[in-house]
Amino acid sequence: MTVSQDAALTVRGLHAGYGGRTVIERLSLPAMVPGRLVALVGPNAAGKSTLLRAMAHLVRMRGEIRLGGIDLARLKPAERAATIGFMPQSLPDDVSLSVLESVIAAITVTAGGGDGTPVAERALDVLEDLGVADLASRTLNLLSGGQKQVVSLAQAIACAPPVLLLDEPTSALDPARQFQIMCIVKGYAVAGRIVVAVMHDLALAAQWADEIVVLTRGRLHGAGPPADILTPGMLAEVYGIAARVERCSEGRLQILVDGVVPPRPIRAAAGGQIEPVTRREFR
Ligand SMILES: Nc1ncnc2c1ncn2[C@@H]1O[C@H](COP(=O)(O)OP(=O)(O)OP(=O)(O)O)[C@@H](O)[C@H]1O
Ligand SMILES: [Mg+2]
């Protein structure tokens, strides 16, 4: 199977959920193209992880997910693993493999495709690139939350897939690691891959993403460049917050949350005055 270099990832008429429960309904997204980093944002339980899992074919789904001319639902598991690198929101707790073994496993599941370099060497290279080679012989279960998160990213990028789906890749990281990992993730996109990253930190999303896709209640609220999407109106409507969006001295967007807005008048208020519920009113 060959993926053309300019193949876009498209989602059309997607329904996804668990058992009898539908979380994503009739969702269509703007095409996600190689070279651009897409941040997927939205409130808790909006369906972001479910959408990523559906794109990785890990939950019940119906609808169309294509990469160029390839229908991802038709791929064999090894082909899908080689095409889509998926980083879950959290790793399972019961993995007793070493860090190196876990990355080797992530490479071998793709049927060993590669440039002939021994798999262990490739796995070590990935760990080195991410600055965690010193963890290679440690047991995955016994790592800190941030260490686990970086190793999980190593597993997702280990076989250099053309599509990378990252579920909150930096939520457990300190600011320095956050910056390093976002540099690597952005570099991955700039190198011509499709990267979709779920993010809750909207300023971080604005700093790194080329496009922001906003999901709420399993539906698309909006998509576009950060400056078009991150507005006080969107923040009130989607997150129920009264917030200012301002540029810092470097020109980057900052989100300053002043309070929450009551859910009822949001739509009317979003276009005009929003009365924040202040901390004092909660007492
Ligand atoms: N394994 C599961 N089985 C049943 N329902 C689930 C499962 N995982 C998630 N859900 C439900 O699906 C809905 C969407 O969850 P999802 O994890 O996609 O949200 P999210 O946008 O990623 O939220 P968060 O920002 O909190 O991670 C929620 O109502 C959640 O309770
Ligand atoms: Mg999630």
Ligand 1 atom nearest residue 215's Cα: 21
Q: 5 vs 22, which has greater pLDDT?
A: 22
Clarify whether residues 211 and 106 are in a common domain: yes
Q: What is the pLDDT of residue 5?
A: 78
Query: In the numeric block, which tokens belong to residue 91?
Result: 């790793």
Condensed to tens digits (0 to 9), the pLDDT of residues 147-164 reads 999 999 999 999 899 999
Question: For residue 45, which ligand has an atom nearest its CA?
Answer: 1
Show which of 193, 215, 230 is a domain's final residue.
230
Query: Do the domain assignments include residue 140?
Result: yes
Q: Could you report the per-residue pLDDT of 243-277, keeping only the tens digit for each?
A: 999 999 999 999 999 999 875 544 444 454 544 44
How many whole angstroms from 5 Cα to the centroid of ligand 1?
Answer: 33
Say which CATH number the domain at 168 has. 3.40.50.300
Residue 169's pLDDT band, with cuts at 50, 70 and 90, is very high
Residue 115 in this model has a pLDDT that exceeds 80:
no
Closest Cα partner for 198 from 183, 208, 184? 208
Contacts of 143 (CB under 8 A, 6+ apart): 99, 135, 151
For 205-248, what is each residue's pLDDT tens digit? 999 999 999 999 999 999 999 999 999 999 999 999 999 999 99
Band (pLDDT 50/70/90 cuts) for residue 60 is very high
Best probe residue, ligand 1, of 22, 50, 196 (max atoms within 8 Å of C-beta): 50
Which ligand neighbours the alpha carbon of 22 most closely? 1
Query: Does the predicted TM-score (pTM) go above 0.85?
Result: yes
Q: Quick one: 53 and 92 in the same domain?
A: yes
- What mean pLDDT value characterizes the chain? 90
Q: Kindly report the number of other CB atoms within 10 A of residue 200's CB atom.
A: 15
Could you tell me the CA-to-CA distances from 156 to 19, 166, 236, 239, 244 in Å, in that order?
Answer: 27, 8, 34, 30, 35
Choice between 279 and 101, residue whose per-residue pLDDT is larger: 101
C-beta atoms surrounding 162 within 10 Å: 19
CA gap 180, 173 in Å, rounded: 10
- 272 and 207 both lie in a single domain: no
To the nearest whole percent, how much of the chain has pLDDT over 90?
Answer: 78
Q: Is position 225 within any domain?
A: yes
pLDDT tens digits for range 9-38: 999 999 999 998 999 999 999 999 999 999
199 shares a domain with 163: yes
What pLDDT score was predicted for residue 249? 96
Give, in degrees to the nearest 5, the angle at Cα 248 between 242 and 192: 100
The number of domains in the chain is: 2
**Residue 264 belongs to what domain range?**
231-283
- Decide if 203 is inside a domain: yes
Domain membership flag for residue 205: yes
The answer on 204 and 128 residing in a single domain is: yes
Same-domain status, 223 and 236:
no
Could you tell me the two tokens for 225? 């460049």
pLDDT score for 280: 34
In a domain, 3, yes or no: no
**Pocket mutation for ligand 1, best pick of 48, 166, 198, 219 (most atoms within 8 Å of C-beta):** 48
DSSP bridge partners of 252: none
Q: 1 C-alpha vs ligand 1 centroid, how far in Å? A: 32
CB 257 within 8 A of CB 242: yes
- What's the confidence (pLDDT) of residue 99? 97
CB atoms within 10 A of CB 91: 18
Q: Same domain for 250 and 179?
A: no
Are 274 and 216 members of one domain?
Answer: no
Q: Are residues 198 and 83 part of one domain?
A: yes
